[in-house]
Chains A and B, each alone.
Chain A
């Protein structure tokens, strides 16, 4: 079946460090891929998306590229800030099915 596997956390980095959170997926066909972020005590916010192979989603300094050949959608940021501390979820969606399948989440903590 369709699934998403993402890097286990927690991940702890110092401010201004480079961030990578790995995400791979298993799916038939061509799903849309997403990264959602959940700040403490809040609901999910869409961080970025890519709807077809080789698309690059970007937002707030974060980037992820839809790699069909490796079925991956790794999240990267060149210089993290304390305010980036949150839980990050990789997810996929088939528009025809309309339900989002989430990974288990990666907790990110940034030290000042």
Chain B
């Protein structure tokens, strides 16, 4: 079992650009959550996808959007990048309503 995988590992973008991050959940999991972890901080919940729909959302602007595909994999899109979007973006997968979420290694996004 490969566990949760994320791509790319690192990414450097310029202010104003758009970025897409990808996540493949652990086998058997149908729910994907995304978190943003700024340097020296705990992860902050962005949103969660289940059955290809956004089920819950944290306090993030509409520039952050996502998608879940029929195979349960997911994408996180961020438009009009700001310097403050520089962070480690973590994907977590779980079975529906399970308390146990498994995290991927993250994508390190740097905005210059």
Which residues of A are interface residues toward B (Cβ below 8 A)? 4, 32, 36, 42-46, 49, 51, 89, 91, 93, 95-105
With known contacts A43-B104, A49-B99, A51-B99, A98–B31 Cβ distance under 8 A: yes
Per-position binary interface string of chain B over residues 31-60, scored 1 when its CB falls under 8 Å from any chain A CB and 0 otherwise: 101010000111111001000000110100
Main secondary structure of the interface of A (DSSP, over half): strand
Q: Are A98 and B106 in contact (CB under 8 A)?
A: no
Interface size, chain B (Cβ < 8 Å): 27
Q: What are the residues of chain B within 8 A of A4 when measuring CB–CB?
A: 42
In the complex, which of the residues B92, B98, B101 has the most CB atoms of chain A within 10 Å of its own CB atom?
A: B101
Contacts of A95 in B (CB 8 A): 97-99
**How far is it, in angstroms, between the C-alpha of A101 and the C-alpha of B45 when the chains are bound?**
7
- In the complex the two chains form, is B56's CB within 8 Å of A44's CB? no
Q: Which residues of the partner chain A approach B101 to less than 8 Å between Cβ atoms?
A: 46, 93, 100
> Of the candidates B42, B56, B99, which one forms a contact with A89 in the assembled complex, judged by CB atoms under 8 Å apart?
B42
